[in-house]
Amino acid sequence: MTLNALDRLAYSWLGERASRSRRMADLDESLRKAQMPVRAEAYLAKAWLYGAIFAVVGLLLGVLAVLAVIVLLEMGPEAWALLVVFPPLFGYIGFVAVTSSPASKAKSRKRNIDQRLAYATNYMAAMASAGVIPAQIFRSLAKQDIYGEVAKEAAMIFKDLEVHGKDIVTALRRAIDRTPSVKFQELLQGAITTTTSGGDLTAYFRSKATRYQWENRVEQKTFIETMGLMAETYVTAAVAGPLFLLVMVAIIVLMGAGTMDQIQMIVFLLLPVINGGFTWGLLKMIPEV
């Protein structure tokens, strides 16, 4: 990960102070599992600087918002009290957005690894059954882009073996330390035990592939059931509910006890919010393929 001029400036100003922060351990782990090659103190210094920049932006937007409130709502000088909220709020948002990025990326990598691990393990079992040594298994796996983040993990293992000169056990232990996937950690730990005890690596990989495939089927079945529940909830909350509400409000308007503004609020505000919420929820729930 290349640092731009602003990132380097942040590190020169705040790097020493960032190195003493209590956030360092968690941030370093998140960066490692996200495969973001940047020092934790440099990244934290960047987050602090970006938070300060966001605070300045918040200050400017706050001034504009206060002026708009004074002009449009004819409020007095007390409206300037609102300015106290904007800088810290925007600064906090900027800081959290930067610092949460590695953990979010690590979580995404974990999901990607878990989804493809069964197929990648099958591939390793086939290679092992052909008599291929572990180093070449990971080298071959690293070239298979279809396995996503598993291939990237394999590339890091092969790099430790060939470039850094590590033995297979050390390379696998280093991979266990940096991978975000518990399943992959268990697979590599079992591979270490099998290798050091002289066990059958082919049989081990095959048994793990069978287990992971069964777990995938269970997860898919659970996902389908959840989608069914979501569909029923959507029909109730986003179709039948608003339709019933529209009919009731329309009757109230016809009776002269309401206004068209209420119907417009339902159509142009409530319905988009409900549908947008369901869309966002489904996008978060649907696994990557």
Helix pair angle (182-196, 101-129), 10° resolution: 40
Residue 199: the pLDDT is: 85
Q: Give the separation between CA 127 and CA 94, rounded to whole angstroms.
A: 47
- Reference 216, options 121, 116, 283, 141; nearest CA is 116
| Under 8 Å between Cβ of 21 and 51 | no
For residue 74, the model assigns a pLDDT of: 66
Q: How far apart are CA 134 and CA 155, in angstroms?
A: 12
Burial class (CB in 10 A: 0-12, 13-18, 19+), 149: buried
Q: What is the pLDDT of residues 51-68, one digit of tens each?
A: 999 999 999 988 888 888
Chain-centroid distance, C-alpha 164: 30
Question: What sign results for the dihedral spanned by CA atoms 156, 158, 163, 166?
Answer: positive
CA geometry: angle 127, 128, 131, nearest 5 deg = 100
In the predicted model, is pLDDT for residue 289 greater than 60? no
Mean pLDDT, residues 116-128 taken together: 92
Q: Is the pLDDT reported for residue 76 higher than 70? A: no
- Give the per-residue pLDDT at 263: 80
What are the residues whose beta carbons fall under 8 Å from the beta carbon of 95, sequence distance 6 or more? 47, 48, 50, 51, 54
pTM confidence score: 0.77
Quick one: pLDDT at residue 101? Answer: 93
Q: Are the beta carbons of 159 and 169 closer than 8 angstroms? A: no
Read off the tokens for 56. 């300045």
Residue-level length of the chain? 289
Q: With 90 as the cut, is the pLDDT of residue 146 above it?
A: yes
Question: What is the C-alpha separation between 177 and 130, in angstroms, rounded?
Answer: 29
pLDDT tens digits, one per residue of 238-273: 888 888 888 888 888 888 776 778 788 888 888 888
Question: Binning pLDDT at 50, 70 and 90, where does residue 3 land?
Answer: low
> Tokens representing 248?
């009731």
Task: Give the Cα-Cα-Cα angle 79, 81, 86 (nearest 5 degrees).
Answer: 105
Query: Would the pLDDT of 106 be above 90?
Result: yes
pLDDT at 91 over 90: yes
For residue range 152-194, what is the model confidence (pLDDT) as tens digits? 999 999 999 999 999 999 999 999 999 999 999 999 999 999 9
Domain boundaries, the chain: 5-99, 108-215, 216-285
Tens-place pLDDT, residues 200-236? 888 999 999 899 989 888 988 988 898 888 888 888 8
Helical segments of 130-200, H only = 134-142, 149-162, 168-178, 182-196
The pLDDT of residue 2: 57
Distance CA 201, CA 131 (A): 10
CA dihedral 28, 33, 35, 38 (to 10 degrees): 0
Query: CA 104 from chain center: how many Å?
Result: 3
Scan for tokens 């990132």, then name that residue: 7
- The token pair at 268 is 């142009």
pLDDT digits (tens, 9 = 90+) for 130-140: 888 888 999 99
Task: Judge whether residue 275 has pLDDT over 60.
Answer: yes
- Rounded Cα distance, 260 and 7, in Å: 53
Contact present, 113 and 150 (Cβ < 8 Å): yes
- Burial category of 215 from C-beta neighbours within 10 Å (exposed 0-12, middle 13-18, buried 19 and up): middle
